[in-house]
Structure 1
Amino acid sequence: MTEPPGAPPHIREDRRDRPIYAIVLRLLAMMMLALTYAIGKLLVERGANLGEILFYRQLFAFPVAAGWAFATLGLALVPMAPMRTHVARTGLGLFGMLLNFGAVALLPLAEATSIGFTMPIFATILSALVLKEPTGIHRWGAVLLGFVGVVIMAHPESANFASLGLIVALSGALVTAIVAIVLRDLGRVEQAPVIVFWFTLLSLPPLGIVMIWAGQAHDPVGWALFVALGVTGGAAQLLMTAALRWGPVSIVIPMDYSQMIWATWAGWLLWASWPAPSTWAGAALIAVSGLYIAWREHVRRRASIISPNEDRAGRSG
């Protein structure tokens, strides 16, 4: 259930990778993200609706996003891409967030998190079908393996199969994959702080309109949870992007699966819920699938970089 980090950051020529630092940042991001969804689940149980959760998630994340953007770029926050592109990204992002929080509300936290890890699987499918990117038998095999993991987690022999929670969780992963592809294109012309800043800012007016009907009174504990929801969500987004700034994708992205550990602990501490053996088995297959897809992408990118260099060397020789 990893949220897209904002966009691939622009890499300066004078910056050297710091892989250990990047890994630590990504692990902290996954802890914050798991905490965000755990808080969202607590708020639903306390009577909050999804409209409120999305609004306060963005409202209290805005100071984090704005502070990061101003500290990084100063006042140079005018987008290079057309504003309609940012508006479309905001609509998709809010829809994905709605589905992901809905999945957490309907399913145990660890199970919802595990199904969210199908995002790379959907991204691979969409890249092949929509972007016409070459996808070999290895990655298609990984896609199939990941869906076998989903089937195992869903217990085909039980009423859980094709349940509302499962459908919402898979839909959330699909929309998140679409957002990731949009961000891949947007990141070619826009820096990550700009994308995150405008996503947070543009989401507040429509969510504010929703709050006319969705807003409710809450006790002090509820308000504290809303503030924590926004701060942890904003911090997770910042940390995810920072990790990609200091380390290569092939090292950073596998750390996302640590979110399952935090989600399991939170489920056990807050709801006395421990994943069933089928959940662990299915999650393992999904994780192997996602890691293999990431590794094949790394191999493909290395090959695309090495081949032109070898070609130039051959011509110069």
Structure 2
Amino acid sequence: MTADGSDPAPPRPNTSEVHGQRRSGTLRALLNALPPNTIGALWILQAAFLFTIMSTLIKLLGSDLSVFQILLVRQCVMALIVAPTIIRNLPHSLQTKRPDLQAARVFFATIAMLCGFTAVIELPLADATALGFSKTFFITIFAIFFLGETVGIHRWGATIAGFLGVLLMLNPGGEGLVDPNALLAIIGAAAAGLVSIIIRFLTRTDSPTTILTYQAVCVGILMTGPAIYTWSTPTLEEWGLLAAVGIVSWAGQMSNIRAFRAGEATAIASLDYSRLIYASAIGILVFGQWPSATTLIGAGLIILASLYTIRREAVRGRQLARAAEGRGYNN
């Protein structure tokens, strides 16, 4: 009460906070009013941009730090981000009915990231990005052997056309010499394709939290020894970039998941290929690397064949190459 016995006037609300809340509410309302596929498209475009930023940061760091060191710190940062979810769900988050598949998933995810990140460091950004798209064709092939999926002449034709694009990019000079770093990108894409198949099996028995926990923690453990052996003390700026790699990787994966929750895979999966536009622009602006004619032709074949494969999956009622777990960056 005040001196004259009246109640004190209520405190005035902070004007900037009120305006901020109104703007946030208005933006949320506008987004919710959009069609689901439009929302999914916006999320997947954001995911593609974030994965390209992640690749750019890895390429910048790779000039002074080993890929083992980069991957170790990335996994540690991502594990810290998801730690509340892991801890909140203990012991369920550690319970798996298929430890063999969890181990296989961790092994191939490690191969995928080591090879994929090395390719990003050594190749022009657009080349590494385009070669990574070949994962779609490996998923098609592995689905035949491991899922018993029947593939018709249309998808086989798309797969062959895509691999012609890959071969073109593997031998950019036309001199019969295979670029070993481009070969690493293909190995990484194949390993990532196997990861997508394994996840399809794991989701039948284990929770998403369990799958996430084993990947986040175990890949980091595997990288500890090699990272210590090749350790180079990062500068303060490099520590910031390393932390950013982990944060952006997590944000990209979350955007990817939200995209496929909001929209239909058939409608939005093709937008993932906007990564090549982002990668080409950043490659030119940041690294001064212009895509060659061979890169553009090979990338065009890969993307067109991938889009056709996704379309055929929709026609046949399949959902593997166009599913959320098949769209992340080398997992």
Whether the TM-score (by the shorter chain) exceeds 0.5 is yes
CA distance in 1, matches of 2:86, 2:304: 35
Amino acid at match of 1:123: I
- Say if 2:170 and 2:183, in contact at 8 Å, map to a contact too: no
Pairing 1:244–2:248 present: no
Greater shift after overlay, 157-166 or 274-283?
157-166
Aligned to 2:10: none
State the shift of 1:19 in Å. 1.8
Q: 1:22–1:160: structure 2 CA closer, same or farther, 3 Å change rule?
A: farther
CA offset at residue 136 of structure 1? Answer: 0.1
User: Could you tell me which residue of structure 2 aligns to residue 20 of structure 1?
Assistant: 38
Q: Report the 3-state secondary structure (helix = DSSP H, G, I; strand = E; otherwise coil) of the residue aligned with 2:205.
A: coil
Q: State the partner residue of 2:71.
A: 54
Higher Cα radius of gyration: 2
How far did residue 267 of structure 1 move?
0.7
> Where in structure 1 do 4 or more consecutive aligned residues deviate above 4 Å?
67-71, 73-76
- Could you list the per-position Cα deviations for residues 220-263 of structure 1 after superposition, in whole angstroms to 9, with x for gaps in the alignment? 11111101111111111222122222222212321210111111
Percent of pairs with identical residues: 29
- Matched with 1:228 is 244
Relative distance call for 1:146 and 1:114 in structure 2 (3 A) is same
CA distance in 2, matches of 1:166, 1:264: 17
Q: Does 1:43 align with 2:53?
A: no
State the Cα distance separating 1:123 from its structure 2 match.
Answer: 0.9
Does residue 115 of structure 2 align to residue 66 of structure 1? no
Q: What is the distance in 1 between the residues matched to 2:262 and 2:50?
A: 19
* Counterpart mapping for 1:1-317 below 5 A: 18-45=36-63, 47-67=64-84, 76-155=92-171, 157-159=173-175, 161-301=177-317
- CA pair 153-38 structure 1, distance change in 2 beyond 3 A: same
CA distance in 1, matches of 2:249, 2:108: 17
SS of the residue aligned with 1:242?
helix
Q: Which residue of the partner structure matches residue 9 of structure 2?
A: none
Q: Deviations over 1:143-191 (max 9, x none)?
A: 0110121233344653584110121111111111111111111122334
- Following TM superposition, by how much is the alpha carbon of 1:88 offset from its aligned partner in structure 2, in angstroms? 2.2
Q: Partner amino acid for 2:56?
A: A
108 and 156 in structure 1: CA distance in 2 versus 1, 3 angstrom threshold: closer
Q: Name the SS of the counterpart of 1:77 in structure 2.
A: helix
TM-score normalised by L of structure 1: 0.83
Distance (whole Å) between structure 1 residues aligned to residue 182 and residue 106 of structure 2 = 24
**Aligned 8 A contact 2:49 2:278 in 1:** yes
> 1:254, 1:54 → 2: CA distance?
28
Q: Which amino acid aligns with 2:281?
A: W
Residue 299 of structure 1, CA deviation: 0.9
**What amino acid is the match of 2:144?**
A
- Alignment root-mean-square deviation, CA: 2.3
**What is the identity, as a one-letter code, of the residue corresponding to 2:109?**
G
Aligned in 2, Cα 1:255/1:65: closer, same or farther, shift over 3 Å? farther
| Cα separation, partners in 2 of 1:154 and 1:44, compared to 1, 3 Å | same
Deviation of the 1:69 alpha carbon: 5.9
**Aligned-partner SS, 1:278:** helix
Cα separation, partners in 2 of 1:249 and 1:193, compared to 1, 3 Å: farther
Code of the aligned partner of 1:30? A
CA deviation after TM superposition for structure 1 residue 29, in Å: 1.0
Judge which range, 265-274 or 246-255, deviates more: 246-255
Higher alpha-carbon deviation: 168-177 or 85-94? 85-94
Letter in 1 for 2:110: L
Structure 2 vs 1, CA of residues 147 and 82 (structure 1 numbering), >3 Å: closer, same or farther? Answer: closer
5+ residue gaps, structure 1, are 1-16, 304-317
Which amino acid is 2:81 matched to? V
When residues 157 and 221 of structure 1 are mapped into structure 2, their CA distance, relative to the original with a 3 A threshold, is closer
Partner letter of residue 53 of structure 2? L
Query: In structure 1, how many angstroms separate the alpha carbons of the residues matched to 2:247 and 2:84?
Result: 12
